[in-house]
A and B are shown apart, each in its own frame.
Chain A
Amino acid sequence: MASPEIAVSVDQVVKRYGNVTALNGVSLDIRENEFFTLLGPSGCGKTTLLRAIAGFEDVTEGHIRLKGQDLVDQPPFKRPVNTVFQQYALFPHMSVTENVLFGLLRKSWSRQDAERRAQDVLELVQLSDFADRKPGQLSGGQQQRVALARALAPRPEVLLLDEPLSALDLKLRQAVRMELKAIQRETGIAFIFVTHDQEEALTMSDRIAVMSAGHVQQVGTPKEIYETPVNRFVADFIGETNLLDVQVLSVTGGLAQVLMPGNRNFKCPAAAVVNAGPGHLSVRPERISVCAEAAGDLSATVIDHTYLGTDIQLHVKLVDGEAMSVRLQNAETTLMPETGVVVGLSLEAGAARLLAD
């Protein structure tokens, strides 16, 4: 039985289209009042999972429960769940207000209550001045907010959002992120947000589920996902990372002793499933500092550097020929090593992480 603070529980869900398996045994618990993100590359099954929760796709196997109640046999119009569609799907023949009223009137709200509620949500998304316009007379950002207002109006238990920001330009997208997060907090409704943009996921979410090929790879807070990825896929997909081939000498209590390229010993935290033998060390570029050659955990030759404004990216090559990148803060005190110089790289103790394949 789901405990009361779980809003949606996805239980061993499998979805097949003919011989394509879009979801391959997905289990997730989405808590009440949380901003939950499904993150993964194109084709990993994010939309399919969202559509299964909304009721537009039947699941092949498994169960989806809303507050403990099985949804599987409920048609979409009986599920207390609303969706913000990627293309918004605003009804073009209705005004903004009529769009927002639509769900309320179908749920048999009185005209008076419905109109008051519509006014309130339009105020929430700052569109009160556009109430009488048709969707065709609004900008992309305004349409996105109408779609949000329309979905929020009937007070759903859960709001589903399928890449709602992808049709907006970069500047607007960044502004809307914070707004969306604020609205989620204000309404206290659980949001399930789909994106393939990891920056979007990291900045907005309470928790993230990283998906690939129909599987959930890891569920955790943005910090957990970024700093303690459970496998190579997650480390590689979230942010930038260096993956070094290393020899694992021993693993005890989550701490591993490894042999680095260049044969220096290094101690670091390891993901649960790692055994002795060949392994991968994930090191974030911004957690590396440059030092004297002998003092480093690795020695490397400087190849090049790229100026990025706030940071400077250093491209280096290890003794075994592997390329790595290092991010140095662009401060006056930062010493920039010359191209061709051999330097030491020192890794912050907790920053490197040993991963299984």
Chain B
Amino acid sequence: MAGKTDLRRFPGFLAVTTLCLFVLYAPLIVVAVYSFNASTSITNWGGMSLMWYVDVFTGPEAPKFQKAALNSMIIAVCASVIATIVATLAAVAMTRAGRLRGKIFSFALINLPLMVPEVVTAVASLVFFSAIGFTTGLTTILIAHTVFCIPFAYLPISARMQSIPDMYEQAAMDLYASPREAFRLVLLPLMTPGILSGFLLAFIISLDDFLITNFVKGAGVETLPTAIFGSVKQGIKPNIMAISTLMLVVSVAFVSLSWLVGRMGQDKKKNN
């Protein structure tokens, strides 16, 4: 087709692509494969076994990981729910408030956390919490997670919101719905796919986070990623690979779900 460049014509394109994909995925594949290793070695294949998965749930480190997993879950659920609510309200305000003063500024403010190096946010959060004399622990993790999840929840919600013409709310108000009813009965149901998609994305981002968590968590409180890191520092055992593989599966499942939900909304719109 005219105007479209065939990428395959660039010399070395295939080689570079293959190399990138290899560097990205080979370690993941190795981890996943070796999690089924029947030996304590992390380099020698000793046959197929589920022993490390059993070890994760019943072995000596099991209580520690279970507690960490529970913490991760509580934080991910709370942070993503709060972040989704905030992001939904922000998206409505940004797309419906007309020429809101400082709209560009607000947009930048919401999305800035995506651009700021995470370690900077982590240090800043820690400094902030100690400055106001907040004891670090589960609450500080929750606050920090909520804040950095907002932009991730905001992106799919605002994308969805922008594709909903304001004629639906006008039609609702024309039919005697107060602005509040128009929001609840018409706008919110239409936004649902975006909201779900934003929620799932925020959830997985929170579940995966290591850096900020590690800074603000305080002594004794662990989430799954920090627990894994702590364990790895004392030497890598195959049970870590089993946990990592489990987390990978959960992550992939959530991201796929988020994408599917977003897609579903779009297909529905096309039919109208």
| Interface residues in chain A, defined as those with a beta carbon under 8 Å from any beta carbon in chain B | 54, 56, 75-78, 81-83, 85, 87, 89-93, 102-103, 106-107, 135-137, 150-151, 154
Chain B: minimal CB distance from A108 (Å)? 9
Residues from 151 to 191 in B contacting A, C-beta threshold 8 Å: 165, 167-168, 170-179, 181-182, 185-186, 189-190
Query: Looking at B174, B176, B178, which has the most chain A CB atoms within 10 Å of its CB?
Result: B174
Chain A: minimal CB distance from B175 (Å)? 3
Majority SS of interface residues in chain B? helix
Which residues of the other chain, A, contact B170 by a CB distance below 8 angstroms?
Answer: 56, 76, 85, 89
> B168 to A103, Cβ gap below 8 A?
no
- The verdict on A136 contacting B268 (CB below 8 Å), with A91-B171, A91-B186 known, is yes
- With the chains together, A248 CA to B268 CA distance in Å? 65
> B272 to A107, Cβ gap below 8 A?
no
- The verdict on A89 contacting B175 (CB below 8 Å), with A135-B272, A136-B271, A136-B272 known, is no
- With the chains together, A154 CA to B174 CA distance in Å? 11
- With the chains together, A75 CA to B181 CA distance in Å? 14
- With the chains together, A92 CA to B173 CA distance in Å? 16
Which residues of the other chain, A, contact B168 by a CB distance below 8 angstroms?
Answer: 89, 91
> B268 to A76, Cβ gap below 8 A?
no
Known pairs A85-B167, A87-B167, A91-B168. 9 more at Cβ < 8 A?
Answer: A77-B176, A77-B182, A78-B176, A82-B175, A91-B172, A92-B272, A103-B175, A103-B176, A136-B271
Residue of B171, B177, B181, B186 touching A85 (CB-CB under 8 A): B171
- With the chains together, A83 CA to B171 CA distance in Å? 8
> A93 to B177, Cβ gap below 8 A?
no
Chain A: minimal CB distance from B271 (Å)? 4
Chain A: minimal CB distance from B250 (Å)? 31
> B175 to A150, Cβ gap below 8 A?
yes
Which residues of the other chain, B, contact A56 by a CB distance below 8 angstroms?
Answer: 170
Which residues of the other chain, A, contact B171 by a CB distance below 8 angstroms?
Answer: 83, 85, 89-91
A-B complex: 7 closest residue pairs judged by Cβ atoms: A103-B175, A136-B271, A106-B176, A89-B171, A89-B167, A92-B272, A77-B173
Chain A: minimal CB distance from B247 (Å)? 35
- For residue B269, CB closer than 8 A to chain A, the reply is yes
- With the chains together, A129 CA to B172 CA distance in Å? 24
What are some 30 contacts across the A-B interface (CB < 8 A)?
A75-B173, A76-B170, A76-B174, A77-B175, A77-B177, A77-B179, A77-B182, A81-B174, A85-B167, A85-B171, A87-B165, A87-B167, A89-B168, A89-B170, A90-B171, A90-B272, A91-B186, A92-B269, A93-B190, A102-B172, A102-B175, A102-B177, A102-B185, A106-B175, A106-B176, A106-B177, A107-B176, A135-B272, A136-B271, A136-B272
Chain B: minimal CB distance from A159 (Å)? 11
Which residues of the other chain, A, contact B176 by a CB distance below 8 angstroms?
Answer: 77-78, 103, 106-107, 154
A76 — nearest CB in chain B belongs to which residue?
Answer: B173
- With the chains together, A9 CA to B165 CA distance in Å? 31
A87 — nearest CB in chain B belongs to which residue?
Answer: B167
- With the chains together, A82 CA to B189 CA distance in Å? 23
Which residues of the other chain, B, contact A91 by a CB distance below 8 angstroms?
Answer: 168, 171-172, 186
Query: Looking at B177, B179, B189, which has the most chain A CB atoms within 10 Å of its CB?
Result: B177
A143 — nearest CB in chain B belongs to which residue?
Answer: B272
Which residues of the other chain, B, contact A76 by a CB distance below 8 angstroms?
Answer: 170, 173-174
> A54 to B174, Cβ gap below 8 A?
yes
Which residues of the other chain, A, contact B186 by a CB distance below 8 angstroms?
Answer: 91
Which residues of the other chain, B, contact A150 by a CB distance below 8 angstroms?
Answer: 175
B271 — nearest CB in chain A belongs to which residue?
Answer: A136
